Amino acid sequence: MNRDAAAELAQRFLNGDLPLDALRAAFAGDQVADLADATVDLDRQRRCGYPEVIYAPGKPVDSLLRIVSELIVRDQDVLVTRLEPVQAQALVASFPDGTWKQQARTFRRMVGSSTQTAGRVAVITAGTSDLPVADEACETARWMRVEVVEISDVGVAGPHRLPRRLPEFVDADAIVVVAGMEGALPSVVGGFVDCPVIAVPTSVGYGANFGGVAALLSMLNSCAANVAVVNIDAGFKAGYLAGMIARKARTTD
Amino acid sequence: MNRDAAAELAQRFLNGDLPLDALRAAFAGDQVADLADATVDLDRQRRCGYPEVIYAPGKPVDSLLRIVSELIVRDQDVLVTRLEPVQAQALVASFPDGTWKQQARTFRRMVGSSTQTAGRVAVITAGTSDLPVADEACETARWMRVEVVEISDVGVAGPHRLPRRLPEFVDADAIVVVAGMEGALPSVVGGFVDCPVIAVPTSVGYGANFGGVAALLSMLNSCAANVAVVNIDAGFKAGYLAGMIARKARTTD
Amino acid sequence: MNRDAAAELAQRFLNGDLPLDALRAAFAGDQVADLADATVDLDRQRRCGYPEVIYAPGKPVDSLLRIVSELIVRDQDVLVTRLEPVQAQALVASFPDGTWKQQARTFRRMVGSSTQTAGRVAVITAGTSDLPVADEACETARWMRVEVVEISDVGVAGPHRLPRRLPEFVDADAIVVVAGMEGALPSVVGGFVDCPVIAVPTSVGYGANFGGVAALLSMLNSCAANVAVVNIDAGFKAGYLAGMIARKARTTD
Amino acid sequence: MNRDAAAELAQRFLNGDLPLDALRAAFAGDQVADLADATVDLDRQRRCGYPEVIYAPGKPVDSLLRIVSELIVRDQDVLVTRLEPVQAQALVASFPDGTWKQQARTFRRMVGSSTQTAGRVAVITAGTSDLPVADEACETARWMRVEVVEISDVGVAGPHRLPRRLPEFVDADAIVVVAGMEGALPSVVGGFVDCPVIAVPTSVGYGANFGGVAALLSMLNSCAANVAVVNIDAGFKAGYLAGMIARKARTTD
Amino acid sequence: MNRDAAAELAQRFLNGDLPLDALRAAFAGDQVADLADATVDLDRQRRCGYPEVIYAPGKPVDSLLRIVSELIVRDQDVLVTRLEPVQAQALVASFPDGTWKQQARTFRRMVGSSTQTAGRVAVITAGTSDLPVADEACETARWMRVEVVEISDVGVAGPHRLPRRLPEFVDADAIVVVAGMEGALPSVVGGFVDCPVIAVPTSVGYGANFGGVAALLSMLNSCAANVAVVNIDAGFKAGYLAGMIARKARTTD
Amino acid sequence: MNRDAAAELAQRFLNGDLPLDALRAAFAGDQVADLADATVDLDRQRRCGYPEVIYAPGKPVDSLLRIVSELIVRDQDVLVTRLEPVQAQALVASFPDGTWKQQARTFRRMVGSSTQTAGRVAVITAGTSDLPVADEACETARWMRVEVVEISDVGVAGPHRLPRRLPEFVDADAIVVVAGMEGALPSVVGGFVDCPVIAVPTSVGYGANFGGVAALLSMLNSCAANVAVVNIDAGFKAGYLAGMIARKARTTD
Amino acid sequence: MNRDAAAELAQRFLNGDLPLDALRAAFAGDQVADLADATVDLDRQRRCGYPEVIYAPGKPVDSLLRIVSELIVRDQDVLVTRLEPVQAQALVASFPDGTWKQQARTFRRMVGSSTQTAGRVAVITAGTSDLPVADEACETARWMRVEVVEISDVGVAGPHRLPRRLPEFVDADAIVVVAGMEGALPSVVGGFVDCPVIAVPTSVGYGANFGGVAALLSMLNSCAANVAVVNIDAGFKAGYLAGMIARKARTTD
Amino acid sequence: MNRDAAAELAQRFLNGDLPLDALRAAFAGDQVADLADATVDLDRQRRCGYPEVIYAPGKPVDSLLRIVSELIVRDQDVLVTRLEPVQAQALVASFPDGTWKQQARTFRRMVGSSTQTAGRVAVITAGTSDLPVADEACETARWMRVEVVEISDVGVAGPHRLPRRLPEFVDADAIVVVAGMEGALPSVVGGFVDCPVIAVPTSVGYGANFGGVAALLSMLNSCAANVAVVNIDAGFKAGYLAGMIARKARTTD
């Protein structure tokens, strides 16, 4: 709602044409698109810096296409996460200029060229099984127009593998570390750098791993002060936070 | 280790005066002060951007004074956390230019004037019982020379309390949200802003709160994409992360 | 057992025709229909205000049909929950005047017109994935002849979505709030209204959601005083409680 | 905010004397008293039907007195919960017309006569150890001006104890059932009545009771459809919900 | 209620002097003594074979004395469990012919000579720390007039200790096995005998013992078919079950 | 090993024909049949009163047939539990005089007539979904030549259903109670009888049932003194314990 | 890196041809083979005594073949664990001189004759269902060129089965004990021997076994001092530790 | 029991002077000292390589003195763990040639000179708060006459601290690693060495540490193959296992 619209409402209220409750409601929210089966938050780019991201599970294909179209016609960058192959194939068919990453389970479509990047994020994984989660983080950061570097398979069992990659991540604005099993890698990375580390526990492992809980607890209890944690397998959220930090670090207000 | 010291070692090795293993060890680590009962990490400011923070529990008073002295003589800003009153009183007696915040359980001593700040952090609490944790976060951010604004007692049970404080936190570089009970506040704050939210679950509550686990799970499962989590009652870590993000956002590289 | 039947038993006992134990048993219970494979509680409408509801899982189709018939011949409104499609199809074939809601997994058949309603219940969901549970609640309330309004997809991540729907639920007699992930919505709704809120955690989510436990704990720890909780995914129970409250609120004793 | 105040704000905005953001904020919230160390929600009676209840833990005595005074001068009924004896004694000294119930840990002060009640609540306990929690529920309901009947020590181990008290609770508008150990009593009570049952698990018990978790799970899984659950030991919340239901049942809109 | 009392009630009902509801209630329960602060179940000996046992925690001394007196005047054997020393001392002072076992925390007073025993129970402990729980089981069995043999400190770490005691327990009618830590002893005992083994996990241990949960799970998963489990530290319940089995085994119906 | 065999060994040892270690081993164990892939415990009937029961999961069909044959040739009653249909069909084909109960997943073959029974066990279920577990208990008790009575679908939600069946179970020697959901039935049954109650939690239920843990905890915390617990869904173990108690109660030593 | 390579690097650094950071990195790590999709640790045999073991899950067949080839060309013994059949068949086809154990899910290929063994490990299982985990331990120990003896089906339910096998394991250098259900066997074995016992909990069991957690807790709380624990079903790790201990015990330094 | 004693027993049995059961019992166990309140296992040194270790908690002082005396008169090395100060002072007063380590809570008394050591164990801690647990491990290893080196405060937060101590532990026969918080250190140490690592989680930490469970899970899930785990805070058990391995590694059979 811009100033003019607000002024019109205020005037109608003073004229007695608009009850007080209606005025309250109008000020409370007006930036929503009510589709048949979803309420798309169109105000989010203004409010939060980025458009709404679409979480695919359970959404019928036609509903998904409708929501994506709605964003595209409003010139917003599109990111869809946790896609089933059948959903992804429908998106690619309808919007061939978008990018489907199968392992990451994401679909991304940028407005205009996506080359102008600001900030730099490193995404580091402990083992090769952590790659799908890491890829989701990477695609999310790219959607935010942030530069991404991936460093894989440098877990603590082979302790000489990480230091030799140090030059690649020591200057990042934010680092995502993805690890399962005992989840020790974020603490080790955190001790080497002066930027925030977003730790993502993965459900990789077996036995008393409890679907990622062992790694989650490990990361929450990290003795490194610069380690924050997101949910198990939450590659998207980690990429989003890292991208947001990198953008802030490189953007002149 | 600077270049000259490295060159001398290399020369001695080539001369056969230094075995290969000793050379390796020398390159591996040389930035440590071995006190009687602790190994102080003096390299941390260079490596991580800030000096080592001292975690007080279990440390005898004389040991604590020795470590703090060690940092002061090297011109480093001092932060001690989780102080018992008897420890704090000894610090204040020895270093009267430092600041003890009783509720935060912190002792902070800055080198020179602490007025030049860079970046701005908001620390928001759900209820008054969350204040000690929030204060620890505030003191940590101040030690990092970041501007801090505190907003208290705006939990979701009175939903009109948060929006009226919006102007105070909407432009922060990072926000710390401290909440116990059901831990819903970070999600709500996250929906209003375009910066990272560091959520701190507190052990405030009773019944099936499980010492903060209910709030922790709530925050990990937050539907807001910009919410990362730290350990229960971990005010220090939240303040550290928020301060680090704020510094990055406002510092020209 | 009415007064006459009781008097006859008492007389037979006094005459010595009925042992004391038999008299005790007769007073203890006589309102049950012993079918081949179930014990239908026919007294429940008198005792609890509503007929017995049939929980479908594990019941063979013929057994299910028999139980439903038993209720119909006694002029009782029928509600079956958690139906498998094959069970539902058999019910629809046998009783075409009943209503099968596929997403809600319910079958409902009312005696006479179902238009006369008493009381009003709002059923609010956080996200579209919570709809099946919400639908079960709605169907249950309708079976209780209570008016229902559904409000969907107004979770806290888009905090401006709920207040604009306030007029629709602010005057309800009871509100069901269905939410997964961090389960924060019931607290927020609870702060806006002066009626009981029945919170239903759903198993929607991933990672450290633990099949709905995160939302369950969140709701149990709600800082809003008017929030009670039912089991995970227990749409039926929430609808039943809300309907019962609404009926009480609108019925003259 | 009444209509006149709203009109004045709208006019100032149209005149250009008030920025749009300030207008938004004014509409968002204006019913708050900012004390030194708390934000009292004065709008709650209008919004939720009852004034704010004061949770005592951690509040300094002078702060507590100040908040209670604030409510009294505004003619609101006062309820304070979870009082330490020292807090309670200060309240009694300052407000001798209030009532301190030591076992319930509550302080209650009513405006005018509290005799006119509406609705009726039964509070039933399984064992004598559950009494403190039950008393908190009773005091809460009384503060809501609802009639209360207490029935104690009728747990399932002596199964003939409950039915003989049936006439006392069968006509209640809502029932609070307080039980520890295996928490079976709410299910049994639920099978006898046609009103909502609010179950409160208590931390009474030992061994694998886990501080009330055994009873909590039992109640969540109750096979009785009219049983909702609140947090462990949450007597206040149970009394509040039951009182709210009773008021609705007996109040003509 | 005997036949005469029942007949009188039935006659009054037929005469119209007693409403139907009152008749129902009278038949439902009449074997209760309503003390000031407790409802003593006087019918239990007839119904369950033994008088009510008094659980001491939280009971004021005078209330405890009153309940014990009530049982004594009705010629019932008395057992009080989980006594605090102050409670126990008051019992001993008032009823000097009773027995207080300090380690077991029990008070027992028998009617007449307690020598005539029926059946035989063995109580076996893994370590000396399990003795208090075992003693509670022993005293319970003695109160049931069953012969008891105690075998201590024969845990599996010294595997040759148990077999040499075999002759003492191989012919018992029931065996109580009390063990903390890994709780392996019941499985081993179960493999040697042809009678039921009641396993009692104790909270003895440290680390990942979780207050007895490790032993509890171990016992529930016992590969021996004749092992049933009671709650952690529940010596009373184990002794009660074992005594009941022993009585049945040796009593001619 | 009988006396003669022992004497021969002792003589050989004295003659120097048998080393000390071999003598020790011989006394330690000699009652085992080493099949290709299992070690059958042939001594169990002597030691524990009943032959070894065969747990089917994971056993190849031919191995299963071999073990059953081994028992049959030694005139032992056979019980096999947790059978897959394919295993069961092979057993029926090879031993047509045995009984396969499909719902119970058991195979039972008795030596001679199985009519002479001793003792009586009642098996009570809360709901129809608990029947498979109850049937396993029944078959186990029958294999032990104990009389069995089944009482189904008498859970606490319809509280008048249990008392009317009282005459059928009040005189049992032991009672198995099978219940899922909140697991309240064993406590209620325990309050009516003077014999041991073996409670079996089942994994029936949903939401916060946690695969039977809710019922398990409920039963462990039962306020009835005569309730012991076995593992979740452990119908066999409950039947075994109840049968053992019943046998003891009715057998003259 | 040998002395010559180190000297060359040192000289280049002194000449100014190599920056300090590059020198540091070179010393940190140089023993890695960067394949397309994995980082093989070729230095492990020197550092840890054995080559890297390949964990198969999630590895594409061609990637697996490439890694195995890489090790073979460097004359290292190969061990692959947790193989899917399709992976195993490809390995057997390519390297027919290797050994695939289907139940153990391992592939092993030794360089030269594998007969010269050092040390001796016993692998003991409680039941036949524990065999796959035990086999993985055996294959691992064989790959380490350690002698292995397997003893199966000697769980505590038949307590006379273990002692008669004592001569086979009493002189082992290390013992692996594999057990599910209540996990009591390691404690019993630990009491008989003077060597370390590595306990492996298995996920065998049902009910409150929780996928091996019951056995895990039991083993962690073992009262035997010589029992260490590895993860649930972690046969490989147990075999590795036992083999390492056996090698140390029999190798002259 | 030596050969002569066995022969005498065998002869008495053949003569009919000794029943079969008595003979069995005599062979089963004869190496036990039955004190008033404990059963001391005097055979353990022969069977397990070391005398019984005394666990102090709950033992009265006089009982403790009696047990220690019993071992001393039999020329066995003494180790007492988990001492309360009052117990320790009594031991020191009675046996002044023993060593009480206050932080380790141990008392140790060696027979003759304790200088001849065999094998070498390293005990490494992550932080200074882990020292008490580490000290218990050290004292245990010393009691086993193994050489011990302690390396403290080298946790992963300062990643350059561990490698510089490498020469001190790289050649150990076994390593104990003690760590709380996220428990990452054992994995890192495990990657550097070719000997077994015994990991001890400590209850050091706060928040979601859960009394050491976070570290425990982390260690169980360690990606390093040579890491075994003992119970939380179980310094004794870790020292015992490491000492046993070191002894084996250095002892000629």
Structure-model confidence comparison of residues B80 and B159, the more confident one: B80
pLDDT value of position C39: 62
The answer to whether residues A25 and A46 belong to one domain is no
Subunits in contact with chain G (3 or more CB pairs closer than 8 Å): A, B, E, F, H
Task: Specify if E70 maps to a domain.
Answer: yes
- b (16+ CB within 10 A) / e for A112-130: eeeeebbbbbbbbbbbbbb
The segment with the largest mean pLDDT, out of B58-62, D213-217, F21-25, F203-207, is D213-217
State both tokens at G124. 């003991």
pLDDT tens digits, F135-152 = 999 999 999 999 999 999
pLDDT value of position C253: 47
Cβ–Cβ below 8 Å for E7 and C13: yes
pLDDT tier, A32 (very low <50, low <70, confident <90, very high otherwise): low
Cβ–Cβ below 8 Å for G48 and H231: no
Interface residue C42 vs chain D (CB under 8 A): no
Indicate the DSSP class of residue B173: S
Comparing alpha-carbon positions, the chain E residue that sits nearest to C27 is E24
> Into how many domains does chain B fold?
3
Which of B92, B93, B107 has the alpha carbon at shortest distance from B140?
Answer: B107
Task: Specify if E115 maps to a domain.
Answer: no
Chains C and H touch (3+ CB pairs under 8 A): no
pLDDT value of position B47: 66
pLDDT tens digits, F64-118 = 999 999 889 888 899 999 999 999 999 999 999 999 999 999 999 999 865 567 7
pLDDT value of position A30: 47
Cβ–Cβ below 8 Å for B184 and C181: no
Predicted confidence (pLDDT) at residue G157 exceeds the cutoff of 50: yes
* 3-state DSSP helix/strand/coil % of chain D, to nearest 5: 40, 15, 40
What is the Cα–Cα distance from B232 to C190, expressed in whole angstroms?
Answer: 26
What is the Cα–Cα distance from A211 to G213, expressed in whole angstroms?
Answer: 14
pLDDT tier, B3 (very low <50, low <70, confident <90, very high otherwise): confident
The answer to whether residues F102 and F92 belong to one domain is yes
pLDDT value of position A42: 65
The alpha carbon of residue C228 is apart from the nearest alpha carbon of chain D, in Å, by 5
Predicted confidence (pLDDT) at residue B218 exceeds the cutoff of 50: yes
CB F13 within 8 A of CB H7: yes
The answer to whether residues E103 and E218 belong to one domain is no
Predicted confidence (pLDDT) at residue B215 exceeds the cutoff of 90: yes
**Mean pLDDT per 10-residue run, chain H (253 residues)?**
74 80 60 58 70 88 92 91 96 96 96 75 92 96 95 82 86 96 92 93 85 94 94 96 90 56
Which residues in chain A are contacts of H215 at CB distance < 8 A? Answer: 218, 221
Predicted confidence (pLDDT) at residue D92 exceeds the cutoff of 80: yes
Q: How far, CA to CA in Å, does H120 sit from each of A168, G225, H149, H162, H169? A: 40, 19, 8, 19, 9
Cβ–Cβ below 8 Å for D248 and C244: no
pLDDT value of position D207: 82
Out of G63, G88, G109, pick the residue that ends a domain.
G109
Predicted confidence (pLDDT) at residue F22 exceeds the cutoff of 80: no
pLDDT tier, C160 (very low <50, low <70, confident <90, very high otherwise): confident
Which residues in chain G are contacts of F41 at CB distance < 8 A? Answer: 157-158, 161
pLDDT value of position G219: 96
Q: How far apart are the first and last CA of chain E?
A: 24
CATH number of the domain where residue B171 is located: 3.40.50.1970
Predicted confidence (pLDDT) at residue D26 exceeds the cutoff of 70: no
For chain D, the average pLDDT equals 86
Subunits in contact with chain H (3 or more CB pairs closer than 8 Å): A, B, E, F, G
What is the Cα–Cα distance from B248 to G154, expressed in whole angstroms?
Answer: 63
Task: Specify if E208 maps to a domain.
Answer: yes
The answer to whether residues F150 and F103 belong to one domain is no
Cβ–Cβ below 8 Å for C24 and E27: yes
Task: Specify if C114 maps to a domain.
Answer: no
Which residues in chain C are contacts of A29 at CB distance < 8 A? Answer: 160-161, 163-164
Tally of CB atoms within 10 A around E150: 16
Predicted confidence (pLDDT) at residue A43 exceeds the cutoff of 80: no
Task: Specify if D115 maps to a domain.
Answer: no
pLDDT tens digits, D168-193 = 998 899 999 999 998 999 999 998 88
What is the Cα–Cα distance from F245 to F121, expressed in whole angstroms?
Answer: 9
Q: Which of residues 166-195 of D touch C (CB under 8 A)?
A: 173, 191-195
pLDDT value of position B253: 47
pLDDT tens digits, G175-205 = 999 999 989 999 999 988 989 999 999 998 7
State both tokens at B85. 């009153």
pLDDT tier, G226 (very low <50, low <70, confident <90, very high otherwise): very high
Cβ–Cβ below 8 Å for B156 and C210: no
Task: Specify if G114 maps to a domain.
Answer: no
Predicted confidence (pLDDT) at residue C20 exceeds the cutoff of 90: no
The answer to whether residues B75 and B183 belong to one domain is no
Indicate the DSSP class of residue B203: S
pLDDT value of position F206: 77
What is the Cα–Cα distance from A86 to A105, expressed in whole angstroms?
Answer: 11
Task: Specify if D114 maps to a domain.
Answer: no
Backbone region of residue C38 per phi and psi (left: phi > 0; alpha: psi in -120 to 50; beta: other values):
beta
pLDDT value of position A24: 62
The answer to whether residues B148 and B221 belong to one domain is yes
Out of B109, B139, B157, pick the residue that ends a domain.
B109
Mutate to test the interface with H, among B41, B54, B55 (most CBs of H within 10 A): B41
pLDDT tens digits, H158-185 = 777 888 788 899 899 999 999 999 899 9
What is the Cα–Cα distance from E192 to E169, expressed in whole angstroms?
Answer: 10
pLDDT tens digits, A109-164 = 999 865 567 799 999 999 888 999 999 999 999 999 999 999 998 888 777 788 87
Cβ–Cβ below 8 Å for B221 and C213: no
The answer to whether residues A195 and A167 belong to one domain is yes
The answer to whether residues D24 and D138 belong to one domain is no
**DSSP string of G182-221?**
T--HHHHHHTT-SS-EEEEE-S---STTGGGHHHHHHHHT
How many CB pairs below 8 Å do chains F and H form together?
A: 32
Start-end of H helices in G49-155: 61-73, 85-94, 131-143
Of G47, G221, G231, the CB nearest to H194: G47
The answer to whether residues C45 and C24 belong to one domain is no
The answer to whether residues F78 and F129 belong to one domain is no
**ipTM of the complex as predicted:** 0.84
What is the Cα–Cα distance from F248 to E173, expressed in whole angstroms?
Answer: 8
Predicted confidence (pLDDT) at residue B36 exceeds the cutoff of 70: no
Of H11, H20, H28, the CB nearest to F14: H11
Which residues in chain F are contacts of D164 at CB distance < 8 A? Answer: none
pLDDT value of position H30: 47
pLDDT value of position C27: 63
pLDDT value of position B79: 97
CB E181 within 8 A of CB E213: no
pLDDT value of position F13: 81
The answer to whether residues E156 and E245 belong to one domain is yes
pLDDT tier, G253 (very low <50, low <70, confident <90, very high otherwise): very low
Give residues with Cβ within 8 angstroms of A200, minimum separation 6.
A133, A134, A137, A176, A177, A178, A179, A229, A230, A232, A233, A234, A235, A238
Predicted confidence (pLDDT) at residue G41 exceeds the cutoff of 70: no
Which residues in chain B are contacts of H133 at CB distance < 8 A? Answer: none
Of A7, A20, A28, the CB nearest to D14: A7
Structure-model confidence comparison of residues B32 and E137, the more confident one: E137
Q: Which domain holds residue H153?
A: 120-251
Q: Please state, for a pLDDT cut of 90, what percent of chain A lies above it.
A: 55
What is the Cα–Cα distance from E232 to E226, expressed in whole angstroms?
Answer: 19
What is the Cα–Cα distance from H202 to H183, expressed in whole angstroms?
Answer: 8
Cβ–Cβ below 8 Å for F24 and H24: no
Q: How far, CA to CA in Å, does A55 sit from each of A78, A81, B137? A: 11, 5, 33
Chains D and B touch (3+ CB pairs under 8 A): yes
Of H28, H39, H234, the CB nearest to E207: H234
The segment with the largest mean pLDDT, out of C90-99, D207-216, G180-189, is C90-99
What is the Cα–Cα distance from B119 to B246, expressed in whole angstroms?
Answer: 5
Q: Which of residues 129-158 of D touch E (CB under 8 A)?
A: 129, 152-154, 157-158
Q: What is the mean pLDDT of residues D44-62?
A: 82
CB H134 within 8 A of CB H230: no
What is the Cα–Cα distance from B237 to B246, expressed in whole angstroms?
Answer: 14
The answer to whether residues C3 and C54 belong to one domain is no
Which of A225-234, G9-18, H20-29, H243-252 bottoms out in mean pLDDT, i.e. has the lowest? H20-29
pLDDT tens digits, D105-140 = 999 999 986 556 679 999 999 988 899 999 999 999
pTM value is 0.85
Of C10, C20, C24, the CB nearest to E13: C10
pLDDT value of position E98: 95
What is the Cα–Cα distance from B113 to B135, expressed in whole angstroms?
Answer: 21
Predicted confidence (pLDDT) at residue F153 exceeds the cutoff of 80: yes
Predicted confidence (pLDDT) at residue G20 exceeds the cutoff of 80: no
pLDDT value of position D115: 59
Out of C46, C79, C109, pick the residue that ends a domain.
C109
pLDDT value of position C69: 93
Task: Specify if D157 maps to a domain.
Answer: yes
